Amino acid sequence: GESVGLHLPTLSVQEGDNSIINCAYSNSASDYFIWYKQESGKGPQFIIDIRSNMDKRQGQRVTVLLNKTVKHLSLQIAATQPGDSAVYFCAEISGTYKYIFGTGTRLKVLA
C-alpha cells in the first residue's frame, strides 16, 4: 500500500549545525504535507506544511523542501539547538481526512 517513510531513524547533530531530516512518500497523488515535532510524552507539534504546487517553504529556522520528481520531502533546521531534540515525522494527505504518517526520525543535539 501507500506509505510514508523516513531514511534515518536517528540523527545526531552538533549544536549550532544545520539538521536535515528526510522523508520519502510513495503516493504521487498526495498534494499536501506536514512536518511534526514530537517530544517524549507529548502530542505532535505542527512545524510547517507545504502543498505540492510549491518546492520550498520557509519558516522560523526551518525549511521544507519538496521534490515531486523523486517523491522526497525534507526538513531543514538551521542552527540546531538542544530544544530541537525530538522525534520528527512527516505526514501526507492521501484522500480527504486520511493522513499517512511516518514513524519518525529521532534528532539528538549534541552539546
Partner 1 sequence: SQTIHQWPATLVQPVGSPLSLECTVEGTSNPNLYWYRQAAGRGLQLLFYSVGIGQISSEVPQNLSASRPQDRQFILSSKKLLLSDSGFYLCAWSPDSRGEKLFFGSGTQLSVL
User: Measured from the CB atom, is 3 or 18 closer to partner 1?
Assistant: 3
User: In angstroms, rounded to a whole number, what is the distance separating the alpha carbons of residues 99 and 92?
Assistant: 5
Secondary structure class of 62 (helix, strand, coil): strand
Query: Binder to partner 1 among 47, 66, 93, 109 (CB under 8 A)?
Result: 93
Among residues 75, 78, 79, 108, the alpha carbon closest in space to that of 89 is found at 75
Ramachandran sector of residue 71 (left: φ over 0; alpha: ψ -120 to 50; beta: rest): left
Residue of 1, 41, 69, 70 interacting with partner 1 (CB under 8 A):
41
d(Cα 87, Cα 39) in Å, to the nearest integer?
6
Residues 21, 34, 64, 77: which binds partner 1 (CB under 8 A)? 34
Burial of 109 (0-12, 13-18, 19+ CB in 10 A): buried
One of 21, 44, 105, 107 touching partner 1 (CB under 8 A) = 44
Q: Considering beta carbons, is residue 50 or 77 the nearer one to partner 1?
A: 50
Shortest distance (Å) from residue 96 CB to partner 1: 5
Interacting residues with partner 1 between 67 and 86 (CB under 8 A): none
Residues at the interface with partner 1 (CB under 8 A): 4, 32, 34, 36, 41-46, 49, 89, 91, 93, 96-104
